Amino acid sequence: MIEKTIIDALRADAVLISKVSLYNKHPAIFSELAPEAAIQPYITINLSRNKASDDLVLHGFILMVDFWGTDSTRVDTRIASERIEYLLDNKQFHTDLRYHTIRVWFFSGGWVEDNDPRTIHYNQQFTVRASRMKWIENL
């Protein structure tokens, strides 16, 4: 559910989607893994729960956003990586899903070395705090 909110926010940005390929007529932004048939450049997002930061109202997550490109898209990869940070850092999203409010903050990122020298990989990590819809409805 949080993944859908994040992917929708990324897919709504014209600058970012101009930097990724298409997959099934949609911008190539995927939850967890890209399909085998996906063509770079594309984006993958991974969300993991940080139970140590949970309480009754708020749940904590770590969001990893990876931009995968090729050597020929090196400049576009850098632009896309900066755009992802701009779109998500210090943002608040409201949904009608399980989590009512989702807040996102950037905390780390940069180039990641890959075994394939033709692959350009940028990773960004964000802290996410989400308030549960059930709790909001009971106020």
Model confidence over 4-50: pLDDT tens digits? Answer: 899 999 999 999 999 999 999 999 999 999 999 999 999 999 999 87
pLDDT for 9: 95
Number of domains in the chain: 1
pLDDT for 112: 86
pLDDT for 56: 62
Q: What is the mean pLDDT of residues 93-103?
A: 82
Domain that holds residue 44: 2-137
Q: Which amino acid is at 60?
A: G
Q: Is residue 139 pLDDT above 60, yes or no?
A: no
CATH number for the domain spanning 55: value is: 3.30.2000.20
Q: What is the mean pLDDT of residues 97-115?
A: 86
pLDDT for 10: 97
Cβ neighbors of 108 (< 8 A, separation 6 or more) are 124, 125
User: Are 6 and 99 spatial neighbours (Cβ–Cβ below 8 Å)?
Assistant: no
Q: For residue range 48-94, what is the model confidence (pLDDT) as tens digits? A: 987 655 556 678 899 999 999 987 767 888 899 999 999 999 999 88
pLDDT for 101: 86
